[in-house]
């Protein structure tokens, strides 16, 4: 199915041609403006007779679109690995609501807990759900090659830092893509049972990227290289000392202490 996003031209049998102004890929509800009307009309892609401008029907129930970008990102990362950009990593984890998953691309050292952050290299399914783009100047429904070129134009310096070899992770990632794509993604969240601690090396959570897919029933994938021992360790960010005086504190150096 063609991409459905804000700006997509549609045709409704009773209203004629219109333009989508808002979309929710999770529920199928859209808002569209027809002709010179000032107000938008709310439509549901599952029940209302809405088509693309060229007459192609939008079969939301039978062919729902991806509601999060992780599978497309996985395909892009695999292609970049094959081109020699093996120091490129994809971290994904759920939001507290459990409805959407975040994503973070990072380069350089493979440190899962202390990842490098670059503007535009992270996002959330909640944002993609309303506008299915990565934010690199790409268009909805862009192919893998188009995504790569969009990222290269958006941040060539950042992508250059991914050049290098990391065969362990590249092999793991290729196996994960072979098992999961195009309908599923991995989630690197360390789940803990209610009232219990972290479980050492539990199965990697697998999540469908679109509605209508059955729960993943294939072979489990292992955790990526570099995760050994992360379940039993303590990962707490240092917090500043509480200051009740209201006056700003200055950090003392070793020379000051002497």
Could you report the per-residue pLDDT of 112-123, keeping only the tens digit for each?
988 999 999 999
In this prediction, what percent of the chain has a pLDDT beyond 70? 83
CA distance linking residue 125 with residue 100, whole number of Å: 5
Is 90 exceeded by the pLDDT of residue 132? Answer: yes
Q: How far from the centroid of its chain's Cα atoms is residue 59's Cα?
A: 24
Q: What is the mean pLDDT of the chain?
A: 87
Residue 229 pLDDT = 66
Is 70 exceeded by the pLDDT of residue 256? Answer: no
CA distance linking residue 257 with residue 39, whole number of Å: 67
Q: Where is average pLDDT lowest: 92-101, 129-138, 232-241?
A: 232-241
Is 60 exceeded by the pLDDT of residue 44? Answer: yes
Q: Taking the CA atoms of the chain, what radius of gyration do you get in angstroms?
A: 22
Is 50 exceeded by the pLDDT of residue 58? Answer: yes
Is 70 exceeded by the pLDDT of residue 90? Answer: yes
pLDDT, tens digit (0-9, with 9 covering 90-100), for 212-253: 899 999 999 999 998 876 665 544 444 555 555 556 555 554
Burial 15-41 (b: 16+ CB within 10 A, else e): beebbbeebebbebebbbebeeeeebb
User: Which pLDDT band holds residue 24 (cuts at 50, 70, 90)?
Assistant: very high
Instruction: Considering only residues 125 and 194, tell me which one the structure prediction assigns the higher pLDDT.
Output: 125
Residue 238 pLDDT = 44
Hey, which residues does 212 pair with through a beta bridge? none
């Amino acid at each position: 199915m063609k991409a459905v996003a804000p700006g997509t031209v549609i045709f409704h049998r009773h209203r004629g041609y219109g333009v989508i102004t808002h979309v929710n890929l999770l529920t199928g509800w859209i808002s569209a403006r027809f002709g010179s009307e000032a107000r938008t009309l709310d439509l549901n892609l599952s029940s209302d007779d809405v088509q693309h401008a060229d007459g192609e029907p939008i079969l939301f129930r039978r062919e729902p679109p991806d509601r999060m970008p992780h599978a497309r990102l996985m395909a892009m990362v695999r292609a970049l690995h094959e081109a020699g950009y093996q120091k490129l990593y994809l971290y994904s984890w759920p939001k507290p609501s459990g409805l959407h998953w975040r994503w973070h691309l990072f380069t350089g050292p493979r440190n899962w807990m202390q990842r490098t952050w670059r503007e535009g290299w992270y996002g959330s399914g909640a944002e993609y759900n309303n506008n299915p783009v990565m934010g690199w100047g790409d268009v909805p429904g862009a192919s893998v090659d188009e995504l790569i070129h969009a990222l290269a134009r958006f941040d060539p310096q950042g992508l250059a830092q991914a050049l290098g070899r990391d065969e362990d992770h590249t092999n793991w990632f290729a196996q994960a893509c072979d098992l999961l794509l195009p309908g599923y993604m991995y989630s690197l969240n360390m789940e803990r049972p209610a009232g219990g601690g972290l479980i050492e090396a539990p199965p990697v959570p697998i999540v469908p990227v679109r509605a209508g897919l059955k729960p993943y029933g294939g072979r489990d994938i292992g955790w990526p290289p570099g995760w050994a021992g992360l379940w039993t360790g303590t990962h707490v960010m240092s917090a500043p000392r509480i200051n009740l005086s209201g006056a700003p504190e200055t950090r003392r150096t070793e020379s000051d202490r002497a």
